[in-house]
Structure 1
Amino acid sequence: MVAAATPLVEFRDVAKRYGAFTALSGIDLEIGNGEFLTLLGPSGSGKTTALMLLAGFDKPSGGSILYQGRSVESVPANRRNFGVVFQNYALFPHLTVAQNVAFPLKARKCASADIAGRVRNALQLVQLEQYAQRYPAQLSGGQQQRVALARALVFDPGLVLMDEPLAALDKNLRHHMQFEIKRLQRELGVTMVYVTHDQGEALSMSDRVAVFNSGRLLQVADPEALYNDPASHFVATFIGETNSLDVRISQVSEGVAQAQLDDGQTVRGNARCSIAPGDEAVLTVRPEALRIAGDNNSAAAHADENRLRVDISDAVFMGDHQRVTLRVGPHSMICKLPAGQGFEAARPGPAVIRFDPAAAFVYSRAAREAQ
């Protein structure tokens, strides 16, 4: 899923300031109809601020937000027809499950006969119809979250906004609810904007992910592209696990940077920003892209790959892979060897690792520090 030719939602140069503090700066973002978009970033990155502006709970300090091509800055939250699910569920404790789900319909003055049928259908969607007469305190955390989701969907909203909805759940229940939310989104075809700081959650649920940091939008891409082709050092290190090596650029040609480590070893990788010979930079490579050079593969077959002398300090069997800790000068690196691929070579002591330059990315150190 990618943003539609005519997006459902548009952020145009949106900024939000609280006094001297800038929570969001120059955000441009399009959300397609029927898309599952996740806003991802660490605490204080601006992702929740962006969601609250879209929901109408706050107003931007600059720029505009459009829904179906029309500006919504002057439209109050209760008139935007958006479903919202919060981390704390926000259920009314004195109302039954059915009454909680019916609340937005009653607020819209729907007919009583229509309300009963729509509440029943919404509870069936989240598999809670048998709990209609219970109160929130009689439900588990996962069941309460399902009620909140049913309430957000019952009035057929044009958009569903979810702010860290699974943060309070335990790991197993959180994973189960991830699949349930994605199932409902696909089944209903509703557009969802989902906020989380959990990278795994974002990658497993989303059509696209928008990565925020320090109030700026750094990259918007589908999960695979985000993981395999990070646009910045922050994205490379925030999404999944990666190794970083400080290097100095010696040559740049056709988008490929050649660089040297402090000990003189040479590596190559994709240049991901404007860099020139002599610049200080950082090279990143995923642990699963590394191999021990002595893993029964001929050197000739991998002549175009990077090769680095390292010291193996530890190797831990993890079942489906072996996690190997390496040192390259002052840098510590992790190598993940799949079962049956080089396990016998991963013994403590000197070794050589190899990796494809296409799997490595080089970023300006100054740009990294600015993030």
Structure 2
Amino acid sequence: MEFIDLKSQQALIREDIEKRIAAVLDHGRYVLGPEVEELEEKLADYVGVKHCLTVSSGTDSLLIALMALGIGPGDEVITVPYTWISTAEMIALIGAKPVFVDIDEKTWNMDPEKLEAAITDKTKAIMPVGIYGQTADMAAINAIAAKHGNLPVIEDAAQCFGATHHGVKSCALSTIGSTSFFPSKPLGCYGDGGALFTNDDEIAQMMKQIRVHGQAQKHQHPVLGLNGRFDTIQAAVVLAKMSLFDNEIVRRNQVAAAYGESIAASELVQRGLQLPHVAEGNTSVWAQYTMLSPDRDALHEKLKEANIPAVSYYAVPLHLQPVFAYLGHQQGDFPVAERVASEGISLPMNPYLSDDEIAQVVGCF
């Protein structure tokens, strides 16, 4: 059983992928070729924003967003301690201070009720994360940002691209939306890649310059930038995958529903197993199907014995990572994040799980 099944997906679109890659080999524009522009137009239309800019990775997309907003040393950016390290890593790399707020007990995304207390006169942006497939409460977060001088909001949507919040797609919900095309994502390529989204013309132009070493025109570099360009072959892959994306989201939701209905009747729920919760007004793309188990190690071993792959993501929250020791946090500072980190376990999740495989998984509960 595959935890994330790229082979079955590829079998459906292999001919289209090969045709698109062959076209790249024929025209030879391997960086920022015509497929990149085609993909950017399709992604912007899909999300419902004016501008999409593809970039070299989901990590670089966050860095470019921060740079475009002029954030640097002495500034603070608020984010969460329960996420992949790149979210806070890019804040620190640019010289700003990551300021953590705890996550919601049900969705495991940023808790808006804890956000306002973290805002200071040094706060220059808020960076919520859409963990495991659904967005944070972006409406509440945006309202707080507006109240405090229209603070920019950067949505880290690396795991929730394609999800909606009150009918609006992820990456169209804030000042800047950022996503990743890492192969394991619901919409991924066959290497590293990412994209940025905005309705702000000036921010879009600045991000475009930063992507190519700060270049406004040939031999003119008015701002510092980086090499953040997207490979044309990877754009060709994502274009092919987009034909399957919406149907795959439907199937991911079917798999999640099947898991939930069966596991909810399990005695493990009576012993404290917590199933994932999709907030009212949200849809999820189920990047992962993650539960909390106070007996995680025993459950992990039981799944392993049945040859079922399972993963515990972000087992050490960011505020307890050695690289962020200088922030002065300790165990107990963010109790919800710490609990989710210590109890979280993710089951196989992909659109190509068969009903028999789903039954095999839930049979362990």
Report the structure, 1 or 2, having the larger helix content: 2
Q: Which has the higher contact order (CA 8 A, sep 6+)?
A: 2
TM superposition score category, shorter chain reference: under 0.3
Name whichever structure is richer in strand by fraction.
1
TM-score by length of 1: 0.25
Task: Choose 1 or 2 for highest CA Rg.
Answer: 1
**Normalising by the residue count of structure 2, what TM-score does the alignment of the two structures yield?**
0.25
